Amino acid sequence: MKNPYTLHTLDNGLRIVIEKMPDVRSAAAGFMVDTGARDDSPEAAGVSHFLEHMMFKGTSKRTWREITVDFDRMGSSYNAYTSEDRTMYYGWVRTADIGKQMELLADMMRSTLPVEEFDMEKNVVLEEIAMSKDNLEHVMFDFLQEKVFEGHPLAWPILGYEETVGNMTRDQMWAYFQRRYAPGNVLLLVAGNVDPKAIIGMAEELCGSWQPYADAHQRTIPTVRTGVASLQVDRFKQQVVAITYPAVNAVDKRAETASAAATILGGENSRFFWEIVQEGIAPRAGAFHLDYADSGLMILYGTCLPENTEALVDALRREAQKICSDKIAPHELDRVKNKRRTGLAIEAEAPYHRLTQLMDDMQFRGGPRTVDQMLAEVDAIGVDDIHTYFQDFPINTEGHLTSVGPRLWPEGSTTGT
């Protein structure tokens, strides 16, 4: 089969990856910036996410109203998001409008960060921070990362804190923007029924004049902490607990195996579902593999009434012990692999989803993979691979226990504020 990918780098360092999908009628384009919350400084925690908001607030060509109207005029499905290690801006349109979509996104990537919009948007972000504190699982996840990655930039929340966002200045953001949004730190992704040569030509016209910037910023590899930490929050009625262990990172070839292992343990129709939820120990219990380029976590969690916390933690540890000591049944793995195959097949038909997959591949795998290659990796996972994974990354040790809710549990643990 002909290679569907075209890779190109502009003279200023901007990388481009294009996937030609001749059987679809739409196309998606996105700019991924290799920066996120872990690249924020301690005094400016939350700047990456706040900046994402400001990128929609005006350019030298458009006001924020015109940006919004222009997206809607072409019927675009568009958005942006910030994670710990990337920021993504994208739009998905019919093929005929891909040039317009690229032009609008490229214009946004050179935002002027309008001074008159800065304080107003700061209030929006502060509202988001306040809202996140009303969500028990959001509070738990932020607290978990704060404790598990203590002393490392991954410890602070993507949204930042009221103090850091509240004190942030437009000049601070502008300096960060100039450093981290330099073309050598940006990836343009396009997927759909497009002409690669035409896309490269448009990219050169739209982005070729962007000035390079030598950013010496280096990320540090985090240490995954062990211990016990609890956060008492009286306004919640339920308790949520999590047990966290080191896992493979996103670059490791075993990342697909780790994801399958987590799904067997705590996904749909998983061991946690049958042995914890259906047994009435807790209404919700799960497991997931969280990975970055240089670190990974296996997180076991559950939500319950405060008085059932001990029983829930005992059940989580019991199932973790069993999956480490005994091989899984073949039918468990088959079910998970079939679910993954279906997901990949569906995503292969949608340009937006291919953007996400290409982004992961470019960031973590060194180049794009076809869906057939991704399916082959799923097919290759065997029962012995799951068993070996848990021998290499056991979850039958103490790990890091985190507890959030109205009950200060366990007693004597490190508490948060």
pLDDT digits (tens, 9 = 90+) for 109-162: 999 999 999 999 999 999 999 999 999 999 999 999 999 999 999 999 999 999
Least confident of 93-97, 313-317, 398-402, 408-412: 408-412
If we measure between CA atoms, which residue out of 61, 59, 62 comes closest to residue 112?
Answer: 59
How confident is the model at residue 411, as a pLDDT?
Answer: 81
Q: How far is CA 367 from CA 18, 22, 96, 244, 319, in A?
A: 11, 21, 27, 30, 37
Architecture of domain 227-415: 2-Layer Sandwich (3.30)
Q: Is the pLDDT of residue 417 over 60?
A: no
Q: Is the pLDDT of residue 1 over 70?
A: no
Q: Which residues make Cβ contacts (< 8 Å) with residue 59, sequence separation at least 6? A: 67, 107, 108, 110, 111, 112
Backbone φ and ψ for 186, nearest 5 degrees, come out as -125, 140
If we measure between CA atoms, which residue out of 184, 187, 174 comes closest to residue 211?
Answer: 184
Q: Which residues make Cβ contacts (< 8 Å) with residue 367, sequence separation at least 6? A: 5, 7, 361
How confident is the model at residue 415, as a pLDDT?
Answer: 67
| Other Cβ atoms closer than 10 A to 224 | 17
How far is residue 149's CA from residue 290's CA, in Å, rounded to a whole number? 13
How confident is the model at residue 324, as a pLDDT?
Answer: 98
Q: How far is CA 243 from CA 37, 123, 147, 150, 401, in A?
A: 23, 35, 12, 16, 5
pLDDT band at 310 (very low <50, low <70, confident <90, very high): very high
Average pLDDT over all residues of the chain: 96
Least confident of 24-33, 51-60, 208-217, 380-389: 208-217
Q: What is the pTM of this model?
A: 0.95
Residue 404's Cβ-side half-sphere holds a number of Cα atoms within 13 Å equal to 26
How confident is the model at residue 412, as a pLDDT?
Answer: 67
Angle at CA 80, nearest 5°, toward 77 and 85?
145
Average pLDDT over residues 35-44: 96
| Other Cβ atoms closer than 10 A to 235 | 9
Residue carrying the six token digits 């998905």:
92
Q: Is the pLDDT of residue 184 over 60?
A: yes
| % of the chain beyond a pLDDT of 70 | 98
- Ordered DSSP codes for 70-97: HHHHTT-EEEEEE-SS-EEEEEEEEGGG
H-state helical runs in 25-135? 47-54, 64-73, 98-108, 115-132
If we measure between CA atoms, which residue out of 241, 61, 24, 270 comes closest to residue 143?
Answer: 241
Q: Which residues make Cβ contacts (< 8 Å) with residue 2, sequence separation at least 6? A: none
How far is residue 344's CA from residue 350's CA, in Å, rounded to a whole number? 10
pLDDT in tens, 231-274: 999 999 999 999 999 999 999 999 999 999 999 999 999 999 99
Domains 5-207 and 227-415 share a fold: yes
Residue carrying the six token digits 């290759």:
380
Average pLDDT over residues 289-308: 97
How confident is the model at residue 416, as a pLDDT?
Answer: 59
Q: Which residues make Cβ contacts (< 8 Å) with residue 279, sequence separation at least 6? A: 315
Q: Is the pLDDT of residue 216 over 70?
A: no
Q: Which residues pair with 231 in a beta bridge?
A: 404
Q: In the chain, where are the structural domains located? A: 5-207, 227-415
Q: Is the pLDDT of residue 413 over 80?
A: no
CATH 3.30.230.70 fits 5-207, yes or no: no
Q: Which residues make Cβ contacts (< 8 Å) with residue 49, sequence separation at least 6? A: 37, 82, 125, 158, 159, 160
How far is residue 209's CA from residue 266's CA, in Å, rounded to a whole number? 49
